[in-house]
């Protein structure tokens, strides 16, 4: 790698080393944004712009809850985050194993 440009140095050396950390940050940040509830309610005024997690409040009632429908809605809301995790799990587990191996 002697004499390589900065871009090649980043692409060949730095980026492969930070893939596990980057995958973990992407998953954790996406889950945090996906589960955000209060901030969009403060800033967004149109009902069409409200987050999908606001739709879960439809299943809560004053005198009772529709638990079966609420559970189905929660499972549907969980699916995109599960797919994201499944796509990035190879790099997340590689990072966990790198940190635990003794050389």
The single-letter DSSP state of residue 2 is T
As a whole number of angstroms, the distance between CA 89 and CA 97 comes to 12
Greater confidence (43 vs 3) lies with 43
At 1, the pLDDT band (50, 70, 90 cuts) reads low
The string of pLDDT tens digits covering residues 40-78 is 888 988 888 888 888 888 777 778 888 888 889 889 989
pLDDT for residue 103 is more than 60: no
The pLDDT of residue 29 is 92
pTM of the model: 0.68
* pLDDT digits 0-9 by tens, 7-28: 888 888 888 888 888 888 888 8
């Amino acid at each position: 790698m002697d004499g390589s440009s900065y871009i090649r140095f980043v692409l060949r050396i730095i980026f492969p080393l930070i893939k596990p950390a980057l995958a973990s940050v992407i998953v954790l940040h996406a889950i945090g944004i996906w589960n955000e509830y209060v901030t969009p309610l403060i800033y967004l005024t149109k009902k069409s712009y409200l987050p999908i997690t606001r739709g879960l409040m439809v299943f809560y009632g004053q005198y009772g809850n529709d638990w079966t429908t609420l559970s189905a809605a929660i499972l549907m809301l969980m699916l995109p985050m599960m797919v994201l995790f499944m796509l990035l799990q190879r790099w997340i587990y590689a990072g966990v194993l790198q940190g635990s191996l003794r050389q």
